[in-house]
Every structure is written in structure tokens, then in C-alpha cells.
């Protein structure tokens, strides 16, 4: 990891402002990493993320009340949610196990990028051993 105050460098940003145009808050780098690790094509993942974002935004108040918010930058809140959260969201969306895994990985990668920027990556990696991440555009 590079030293200095590179918090505004594109590689260190936790949120890509162009993501709003894509219909979800996950930045392009996190999306590419998640697509590479999951068994879902990179072309399918953006549509899944848009559907999930619609679901998450519809429940934004519940996320704020029930879960730990670990970041809130540029109108995007990142929460630690219970293990199994994405399986529940996947069931609500009617998507298969691989698609659920891709959604979970994308949100996880976003959290890890937030951790890199804020110098909390190890803390977030440890948290992900017990919980999952959910990124909610507000």
C-alpha cells in the first residue's frame, strides 16, 4: 500500500461517482474483482447490482436502525450485516446461489476498498469473517 495522503486517488476511492449512472453504488474496480471471483459473467453483474440496489434502498431506514454503519461517503452508506444477509436478499430477488455469491462479493470488495482508503482494511477483513457487507445508496 502506498504511503502519503492518496485518499483522493482513483485507486483509493471507495465510491465511483459514475456508479450513479450505472444504477448502483459499487465502483468499477470492486465490480471487476467480484466478477472475476464469482461464477457470474461481468455482463450479468451490473444488472444484478441494480436490482439489489433497488431492494436495499427500499429498506434503507431498516439498515440504518438495525445494522452497524462503518462508512458514509458521498451519499453511500456501508453496513456490516449478519452472515446470511445476501442469501435472504437473493431469495427476495429470486436469484440463484452463484448470483447471490456475486452480489455478496461485490459489496465485500466495496467494503475492503473503503478499508484501504480509511486505513481500516484489517479491521474490515476481520469483520467479514463473521458478517457480510451491504452498500446502500441514500
> What gap in Å lies between CA 44 and CA 41, rounded to an integer?
5
Residue 32 DSSP code:
H
Of the pLDDT bands very low, low, confident and very high (cuts 50, 70, 90), residue 36 is confident
Let me know: does 81 contact 134? Beta carbons within 8 Å. Answer: yes
pLDDT digits (tens, 9 = 90+) for 111-132: 999 999 999 999 999 999 999 9
pTM above 0.85, yes or no: no
Residue 72 covered by a domain = yes
Determine the structural domain holding residue 56 and report its residue range: 24-137
Q: How many domains does the chain have?
A: 1
- 76-116 pLDDT, tens digit per residue, is 999 999 999 999 999 999 999 999 999 999 999 999 999 99
What pLDDT does residue 22 have?
A: 56
- Residue 100 belongs to some domain of the structure: yes
Amino acid at each position: 500500500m502506498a504511503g502519503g495522503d492518496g485518499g483522493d486517488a482513483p485507486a483509493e476511492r471507495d465510491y465511483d461517482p459514475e456508479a450513479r449512472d450505472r444504477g448502483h453504488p459499487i465502483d468499477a474496480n470492486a465490480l471487476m474483482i467480484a466478477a472475476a471471483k464469482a461464477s457470474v459473467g461481468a455482463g450479468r453483474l451490473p444488472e444484478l447490482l441494480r436490482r439489489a440496489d433497488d431492494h436495499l434502498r427500499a429498506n434503507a431506514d431498516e439498515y440504518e436502525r438495525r445494522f452497524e454503519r462503518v462508512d458514509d461517503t458521498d451519499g453511500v452508506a456501508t453496513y456490516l450485516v449478519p452472515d446470511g444477509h445476501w442469501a435472504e436478499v437473493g431469495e427476495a430477488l429470486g436469484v440463484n446461489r452463484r448470483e447471490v455469491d456475486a452480489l455478496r462479493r461485490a459489496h465485500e470488495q466495496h467494503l475492503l476498498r473503503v478499508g484501504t482508503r480509511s486505513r481500516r482494511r484489517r479491521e474490515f477483513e476481520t469483520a467479514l469473517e463473521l458478517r457480510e457487507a451491504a452498500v446502500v445508496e441514500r
